């Protein structure tokens, strides 16, 4: 009879490790399976890690975790071909305890985090693929791995197997995702000296800046680009829904090079040295795409449960919070020795009562709205740029006359009714 | 230097290649007769797929394992698995 565990966690990203760590800390016997050479070797993120949900697992983690810079400034650009309208917030309170968020590089971070789990007693096995869940009498009882004699058993299997979650699909918890439910994102890590980063982004050591870029960064397609400052490198990436990529016949790496060479971006990167290129899918289907998250002997967390808030670029924090909630549900189930769906549904309840599902519910129509009404990215962003240019160009036209001209150019192109309709629709999608 | 081409980008990466492909085009005739766009050759971020006149060449060795081809193939003509444990792409940074 093979060894039996209380919990098997498939995947060593933020969701899986949060769950494994919390279970082990509470005395459960945990096996964590990672298919990569080490945790983080298959994982990709733009790079923002939020303090709050991480701290709820490891208090004061910033004192020892491999972090890059605390983010003290968040900028947003609405970019056109040769201009950009920007706004943002910079606050020094984000630069000291307890912090708001940090830039991180995931390969070192995920290794550190998984090692913390191992310290708590998690048995972490790398280089192992969980090929399928072992199901007996309608209950998940373990996983079949690609190791010889690789069947392992547990009371609960936690699927933290990421955006593609082949195991969730195997169990019928979700169908294959549609191209409009995922965003294909590519990024580069570009090495640049600390001094240059500090100068170009107006930072001091141990201060970071993030820039989210809308509009021409995706050639008007539904998606965003980002530039995040690490200690001595910059992460620059761009993504659109896979459906937009297909429709516009875009090569993602061409789009990335277009962004890197954009007149608004190029000076920030000048002299930098590419160090890594990464592609990954982001689950962006939102509320309607969340699969069944608990079954008999099984729980789904993180990207595998599609827990990403694309509008606020939150994902790893939701992964961590969901992993912790899953662990708490498993601990309760263990006390009752009941691992049925009804028992594990306490995870589902916790998830739906938390900020995670409340936020996903708030934006449940946003992706659909912007996908089906491309004018927001394609027309309004250039329009706003033109309006700002006109308003701030001093040419002897009285300001009231300028305002009238701007209003006329907006309503003239589209018609007043259409504009009001567009504004109302966008407001409804994000209210 | 900052990369300019996909070849330069891919060259930055470390792969531990398996001898067997984890990506399988199920029916090359479908690509030939039903799929004029061969859209996987466009959106694949690693240029894994290359059309060679009568069949689809699959350069699985450079795959990022993102899953786009499985979801984006208009004919569900790509069987997509994970490479064997410990194999495939090895991200070192982000």
pTM here is 0.96
**Residues A389, A311 share a domain:** no
- Predicted local distance difference test score (pLDDT) of residue B80: 98
- Predicted local distance difference test score (pLDDT) of residue A417: 87
**Residues A333, A386 share a domain:** no
How far B20 CA lies from chain A's nearest CA (Å)? 14
Q: Do A278 and B92 touch (CB under 8 A)?
A: no
**Residues A393, A344 share a domain:** no
A201 located within any domain: no
**Residues A324, A299 share a domain:** yes
Q: Do A184 and B6 touch (CB under 8 A)?
A: no
**Residues A153, A22 share a domain:** yes
Residue A273 is nearest to which of B1, B9, B46, comparing CB atoms? B1
- Predicted local distance difference test score (pLDDT) of residue A336: 98
Residue ranges making up the domain that contains A15 = 4-67+104-174+291-353
**A121 Cβ contact list (under 8 Å, min separation 6):** A24, A29, A30
Q: Which of residues 10-39 of A touch B (CB under 8 A)?
A: 35-37
A115 located within any domain: yes
A166 interface with B at CB cutoff 8 Å: yes
Q: How far apart are CA A256 and CA A262, in angstroms?
A: 10
Cα A385 to Cα A81, A151, A296: the distances in Å are 10, 59, 54
**Residues A422, A399 share a domain:** yes
A245 interface with B at CB cutoff 8 Å: yes
Q: Do B68 and A242 touch (CB under 8 A)?
A: yes
ipTM (interface predicted TM): 0.98
A85 located within any domain: no
A373 located within any domain: yes
CB contacts of B84 in chain A (<8 Å) are 129, 146
Residue A43 belongs to a domain with what CATH number?
Answer: 3.50.50.60
**Residues A395, A330 share a domain:** no
Q: Do A278 and B82 touch (CB under 8 A)?
A: no
- Predicted local distance difference test score (pLDDT) of residue B15: 97
Q: Do B70 and A164 touch (CB under 8 A)?
A: yes
A252 interface with B at CB cutoff 8 Å: yes
CB contacts of A269 in chain B (<8 Å) are 2
Q: Do B82 and A43 touch (CB under 8 A)?
A: no
- Predicted local distance difference test score (pLDDT) of residue A229: 98
**Which 3 state secondary structure label does DSSP give B11?**
helix
A218 located within any domain: no
- Predicted local distance difference test score (pLDDT) of residue A210: 98
A306 located within any domain: yes
Cα A291 to Cα A136, A212, A295: the distances in Å are 21, 29, 11
- Predicted local distance difference test score (pLDDT) of residue A409: 87
**Residues A112, A13 share a domain:** yes
> What's the domain count of chain A?
2
**Residues A391, A416 share a domain:** yes
**Any bridge partners for residue A273, and if so which?**
A191
Domain closes at, from A323, A353, A383: A353
- Predicted local distance difference test score (pLDDT) of residue A413: 77
A180 located within any domain: no
Cα A263 to Cα A127, A267, A380: the distances in Å are 43, 7, 20
CB contacts of B8 in chain A (<8 Å) are 274
Chain B residue with minimum CA distance to A130: B85
B interface with A, Cβ–Cβ below 8 Å: 1-4, 6, 8-10, 12-13, 16, 37, 39, 42-43, 45-47, 64-68, 70-72, 76, 80-86, 88-94
Q: How far apart are CA A231 and CA A102, in angstroms?
A: 11
First-to-last alpha carbon distance for chain B, in angstroms, is 19
Q: How far apart are CA A169 and CA A174, in angstroms?
A: 5
CB contacts of A249 in chain B (<8 Å) are 37, 39, 42
Percent of the residues in chain B that have a pLDDT greater than 90, as a whole number: 95
Cα A420 to Cα A285, A390, A413: the distances in Å are 27, 22, 13
Please, what is the Cα angle at A174 between A240 and A113, to 5 degrees? 70
Domain closes at, from A353, A387, A405: A353
Residue B71 is nearest to which of A47, A146, A177, comparing CB atoms? A177
Chain A residue with minimum CA distance to B12: A276
**Residues A169, A49 share a domain:** yes
- Predicted local distance difference test score (pLDDT) of residue A2: 66
A282 located within any domain: no
Q: Mutate which of B16, B64, B91 to disrupt the A interface (most A C-beta within 10 Å)?
A: B91
**Residues A404, A346 share a domain:** no
Chain B residue with minimum CA distance to A269: B2
Domain closes at, from A353, A377, A399: A353
Each residue's pLDDT tens digit in chain A (431 positions)? Answer: 567 999 999 999 999 999 999 999 999 999 999 999 999 999 999 999 999 999 999 999 999 999 999 999 999 999 999 999 999 999 999 999 999 999 999 999 999 999 999 999 999 999 999 999 999 999 999 999 999 999 999 999 999 999 999 999 999 999 999 999 999 999 999 999 999 999 999 999 999 999 999 999 999 999 999 999 999 999 999 999 999 999 999 999 999 999 999 999 999 999 999 999 999 999 999 999 999 999 999 999 999 999 999 999 999 999 999 999 999 999 999 999 999 999 999 999 999 999 999 999 999 998 888 888 888 889 999 999 999 999 999 999 999 999 999 999 888 878 888 888 998 998 988 88
**Residues A115, A34 share a domain:** yes
């Amino acid at each position: 009879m093979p060894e039996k565990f209380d919990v098997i966690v498939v995947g060593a990203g933020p969701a899986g490790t949060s769950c494994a760590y919390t279970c082990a800390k509470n005395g459960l016997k945990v096996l964590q399976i990672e298919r990569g050479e080490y945790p983080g070797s298959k994982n990709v993120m733009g790079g923002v890690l939020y303090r709050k949900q991480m701290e709820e697992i490891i208090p004061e983690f910033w004192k020892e975790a491999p972090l890059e810079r605390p983010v003290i400034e968040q900028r947003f650009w609405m970019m056109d071909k040769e201009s950009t309208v920007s706004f943002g917030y910079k606050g020094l309170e984000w630069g000291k305890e307890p912090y708001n968020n940090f830039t991180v590089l995931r390969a070192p971070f995920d290794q550190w985090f998984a090692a913390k789990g191992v310290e708590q007693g998690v048995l972490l096995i790398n280089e192992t693929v969980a090929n399928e869940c072992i199901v007996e009498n309608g209950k998940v009882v373990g996983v079949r791995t690609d190791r010889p004699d690789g069947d392992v058993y547990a009371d609960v299997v936690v699927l933290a197997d990421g955006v593609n979650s082949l195991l969730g699909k195997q169990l019928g918890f979700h169908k294959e995702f549609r191209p409009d439910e995922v965003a294909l994102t590519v990024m580069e890590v570009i090495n640049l000296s600390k001094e240059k980063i500090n100068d170009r982004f107006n930072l001091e050591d141990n201060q970071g800046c993030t820039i989210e870029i809308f509009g021409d960064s995706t050639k008007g397609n539904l998606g965003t680009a980002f530039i995040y400052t690490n200690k001595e490198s910059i992460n620059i990436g761009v993504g659109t829904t896979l459906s937009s990529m297909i429709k516009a016949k875009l090569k993602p790496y061409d789009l990335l090079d277009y962004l890197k060479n954009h007149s608004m971006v190029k000076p920030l990167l000048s002299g930098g040295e590419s160090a890594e290129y990464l592609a990954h899918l982001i689950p962006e289907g939102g509320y309607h795409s969340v699969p069944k998250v608990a079954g008999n002997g099984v729980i789904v967390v993180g990207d595998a449960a599609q827990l990403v808030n694309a509008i606020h670029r939150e994902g790893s924090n939701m992964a961590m919070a969901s992993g912790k909630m899953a662990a708490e549900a498993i601990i309760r189930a263990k006390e009752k020795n009941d691992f049925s769906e009804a028992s594990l549904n306490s995870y589902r309840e916790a998830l739906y009562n938390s900020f995670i599902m409340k936020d996903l519910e708030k934006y449940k129509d946003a992706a659909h709205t912007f996908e089906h009404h491309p004018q927001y990215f394609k027309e309004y962003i250039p329009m706003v740029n033109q309006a700002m240019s006109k308003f701030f160009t001093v040419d002897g036209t009285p300001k009231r006359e300028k305002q009238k001209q701007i209003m006329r150019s907006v309503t003239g192109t589209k018609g007043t009714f259409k504009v009001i309709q567009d504004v109302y629709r966008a407001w409804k999608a994000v209210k | 230097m900052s990369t300019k081409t996909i070849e330069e980008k891919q060259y930055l990466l470390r792969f531990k290649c398996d001898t067997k492909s984890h990506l399988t085009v199920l029916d090359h005739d479908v690509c030939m007769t039903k799929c004029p766009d061969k859209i996987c050759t466009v959106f694949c971020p690693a240029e894994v797929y290359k059309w060679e006149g009568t069949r689809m060449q699959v350069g699985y060795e450079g795959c990022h394992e993102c899953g786009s081809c499985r979801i984006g193939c208009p004919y569900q003509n790509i069987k997509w698995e994970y490479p064997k444990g410990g194999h495939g792409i090895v991200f070192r940074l982000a």
